[in-house]
Amino acid sequence: MKVQKILKRLLRLHPKSEPSTLIRIKRLLKDLNSPESKIDNVIQVVGTNGKHSFCVTLREIFEKAGHACNLNISPSLRKFNERFYFSGKYISDEELYNLLTEVEQINGNQNISFHEVITAAWILHASRNKSDVNIMEAGALFRLDSSNVFQKNLCSVIMPIGIDHRDFLKEGTIDEITYEKCSHLLGGSKIIISEQKSNVLEKIKKNISKNSSEKFIFGEDYDYKKKANRFIYKDKIGKMNLPLPNLSGDFQISNVSTAIAAARSLNQFKITESHIKEAITKIRSEGRLQSITRGKLRKYVSENNQIIVDGAHNPLAASVVKKYLETLNTERKIFMVLGMMANKEHKEFIQTFKGRVHSVIALDIPNQINFIEKEKLSKIAQSCGIPSKTKNSIEEALINIAAEDENAIILCAGSLYFAAEILNLN
């Protein structure tokens, strides 16, 4: 409760009417004695999708090789502490409270966004808890994101880029998004580029053409090929015959391959094939095509109903989730339980599933404010040609689907916040 109270206070400092800027966080970091200047072994991760899967995979690889890792993700899923991972464990409630209190006191009542103050707190704690590597996930964009405060890094990683967060942009085009994410990556280190759509890759290359970092590009410098129950990873170092990762969906092989490419490009860490094999079979990633096989929610459905929870919330993520759904038994109907935030590309997201999803049940997202109301969301689904209705709760939606089809697959998607509520309820 102490942590929740201080988080609410910090939210009130948010200058919602002010434009994005690095001025506020740089001012706070200076007042904290510039902890960012004490960290130069950071891996900065930008992109639209796959950042979390990449980060937890890379952490697993480094830890299996005996290296201490600090990890910063945003947003958290089930508990706020998930954003603060240091040398093998998440920060305790007491440590987090003390850290946030310290940063709050230094900041005073000066304007600062919630994301900025939380990022500053993580950087401060990371500077005091030395590790072999600091893995840091960028926020919505990067050029003016609070993670873009370092002068030196180990490498930058560009995960798949697509349309999202248009509300932060002037035009919201893929050109503008690519510029915001890629144009200000640090030079003098390495840049790892994940599998991208061909037109996006060209835009990325244009944005980093003058960057002095060494480039490692999917399809040119590293690649993978899926086999029946394995995949072949290949880069300039050589080939590896690897087990499938402990993540659902073929698209995750791409995310894992990018993590392998990043780890192997940083040859000072001496990552071996055995480290990689052990790591990728033990990846922990909640809310990403996660099957609910036990817990409270199972009592609302039949034994044959399959519940899948995924935090997908933009068109690019929808496309990869649909590809996964297409690998499932086509004789089983797929019902979608959908909750989305108000600032998303609702129609583009939903229409991606046309032809594979039987119908949609729209819900408000519990414990959130800026969600799109279920009635509006349901109408959008109907406009996409997908039958849709609303229910008042996750439990009611599950009961309704199970009563209609006890063999149905139930996909819960639309938001990481929605996925978190479902997992916490379970």
pLDDT tens digits, 235-262: 999 999 999 998 988 889 999 999 999 9
**Mind listing the domains of the chain with CATH numbers?**
2-280 (3.40.1190.10), 290-425 (3.90.190.20)
The pLDDT-based confidence of 272 (bands split at 50, 70, 90) is very high
| 409-413, strands of its sheet edge to edge | 290-291, 306-309, 409-413, 334-338, 359-362, 388-390
pLDDT tens digits, 162-177: 876 555 666 779 999 9
Token code pair at residue 204: 């990325």
From residue 153, alpha-carbon distances to 58, 83, 336, 393, 412 in Å are 16, 20, 41, 45, 37
- The DSSP annotation for 41-75 comes to -EEEEE-SSSHHHHHHHHHHHHHHTT--EEEE-SS
- The DSSP annotation for 218-234 comes to BTTTEEEEE-SSEEEEE
From residue 232, alpha-carbon distances to 152, 254, 257, 365, 424 in Å are 33, 11, 10, 40, 36
- Among 279, 284, 237, 286, which Cα is nearest to 259's? 279
In whole angstroms, give the CA distance from residue 242 to residue 233.
7
The pLDDT-based confidence of 16 (bands split at 50, 70, 90) is low
The pLDDT-based confidence of 17 (bands split at 50, 70, 90) is low
Average pLDDT rounded to a whole number, residues 401-414: 97
pLDDT at residue 319 in the model: 93
The pLDDT-based confidence of 284 (bands split at 50, 70, 90) is confident
The pLDDT-based confidence of 273 (bands split at 50, 70, 90) is very high
Average pLDDT rounded to a whole number, residues 377-389: 98
The pLDDT-based confidence of 13 (bands split at 50, 70, 90) is confident
Residue type, 403: A
pLDDT at residue 61 in the model: 98
Average pLDDT rounded to a whole number, residues 375-394: 98
In whole angstroms, give the CA distance from residue 58 to residue 348.
31
Residue type, 416: L
Residue 72 in this model has a pLDDT that exceeds 90: yes
Residue with tokens 């310290």: 102
Average pLDDT rounded to a whole number, residues 100-109: 95
pTM for the predicted model, two decimal places: 0.89
In whole angstroms, give the CA distance from residue 44 to residue 40.
11
State whether residue 119 is helix, strand or coil: helix
What is the overall mean pLDDT for the chain?
94
pLDDT at residue 170 in the model: 66
Would you give the DSSP letter of residue 320?
A: H
State whether residue 312 is helix, strand or coil: coil
- Specify which residues 100 forms β-bridges with: none
In whole angstroms, give the CA distance from residue 211 to residue 218.
18
pLDDT at residue 249 in the model: 85
Contact call for residues 48 and 174 (beta carbons, < 8 A)? no
pLDDT at residue 184 in the model: 95
Average pLDDT rounded to a whole number, residues 49-74: 95
The pLDDT-based confidence of 351 (bands split at 50, 70, 90) is very high
pLDDT tens digits, 205-222: 999 999 999 999 999 999
Average pLDDT rounded to a whole number, residues 106-129: 94
In this structure, the number of other CB atoms found within 10 A of the CB of residue 229 comes to: 7
The beta-strand segments (E) located in 8-163 are 42-46, 69-72, 85-86, 89-90, 133-137, 155-158
The pLDDT-based confidence of 286 (bands split at 50, 70, 90) is confident
Residue 159 in this model has a pLDDT that exceeds 80: yes
pLDDT tens digits, 297-323: 999 999 999 999 999 999 989 999 999
The pLDDT-based confidence of 77 (bands split at 50, 70, 90) is confident
Residue type, 382: Q
In whole angstroms, give the CA distance from residue 426 to residue 297.
5
Sequence-distant (6+) residues with CB within 8 A of 324 are: 248, 249, 250, 251, 289
